Amino acid sequence: MSSNARPGELGDFLKARRMELSPAAVGLPVAGGRRRVKGLRREEVALLASISADYYTRLEQGRRQASEPVLEAIARVLRLGDDERAYLFELSGKDRNAARPPRPAARKVQPQLQRLLDDFATTPAVILGRRTDVLAWNAMAAALFTDFGKYPEEKRNFVRLVFSDPDVRALYPHWEDVAQACVAQLRMEAARDPDDPRLGELVGELSARDRDFRRWWGGHHVTVRDMGTKVIRHPVAGELTLDWSTLTCATDPDQQLIALTAEPGTPSHDGLRALAATGRRAGAQAGGAPHRLRTEPA
């Protein structure tokens, strides 16, 4: 088995996904009587993927490695989306054949991203690194979310704040949806960098502290961070419906700029403009407009 494969995580993921599918959902006849397992049985997945039940059982138990065609067939049977399929291949070590350049021991925010960040006068924006660590933010982001500068550097992590900071949590009227998406994004990152000790510490901390995080992490749902819509109930600007987009730094893909905007002419757009003055005050209180952030520990 490839040294990059993670059989235990792979088996947990496959089991979680098949348990969410009923025989009827995949076109299998529903026999009478009580089923002893929730969702699909292993042999039913194997049948639909045109492989032996023994082959699939050993794969789910971490006792054999699957070929790419087999993984494709299983992804089809389990109705995996693009993000889940990518996660399946990550866990199987299939996209790690080419040697990756070693990650630097420490990183700084790319200066081009920092200038772009500072020029967003009415657009909240943050730069996230590995594990959703907050590397930099502008005054509008401080006004919208929180002054990230008040947290110790080792605690300046967006997922941690969503789960552990009551003020950040209160911003989201649909907190469960936001929190589950955060967990799914973190789960995807864990597949890309399974040996990151700081990621392991973060997952362990949140699992011990929060029952919801522990349950959602065990669900093995995954997604990538690309774009979407957030509803934020701000104590000053009121309810805001904001579209968020992700820009990835070409020279350092681990750094992503997340910008939040509102459609012109909407109350949310007006709310962001009204919040701009508050953002300037928050930036001044945090030590000036430019947030030249720390070097990020590996």
pLDDT per position as a tens digit, 181-192: 999 999 988 887
Per residue in 213-242, pLDDT (tens digit) is 999 999 999 988 888 999 999 998 999 999
Torsion angle, alpha carbons of 138, 140, 145, 149, to 10: 40
| Per-residue pLDDT at 253 | 84
Q: Is the pLDDT of residue 272 over 60?
A: yes
Residue 157: is its pLDDT beyond 80?
yes
pLDDT for the residue numbered 65: 82
Q: What mean pLDDT do residues 68-88 have?
A: 89
Residue 99 confidence (pLDDT): 37
Confidence at 284, pLDDT banded by 50, 70, 90: low
Beta strands in the chain (DSSP E): 106-107, 125-128, 134-137, 227-234, 238-248, 256-261, 296-297
Q: Are 204 and 225 in contact (CB under 8 A)?
A: no
pLDDT interval class at 95 (50, 70, 90): low
Residue (of 34, 35, 36, 40) closest to 19 by Cα position: 40
pLDDT value at 3 more than 70 = no
Q: Which superfamily, per CATH, for 7-91?
A: lambda repressor-like DNA-binding domains (1.10.260.40)
Residue 174 is which amino acid?
H
Domain layout of the chain by residue ranges: 7-91, 106-297
pTM of the model: 0.72
pLDDT number for residue 5: 58
CATH 3.40.50.720, domain 106-297, yes or no = no
Q: Convert the pLDDT of each residue in 98-123 to its tens digit.
A: 334 445 544 567 676 677 777 788 89
Mean pLDDT of 168-196: 91
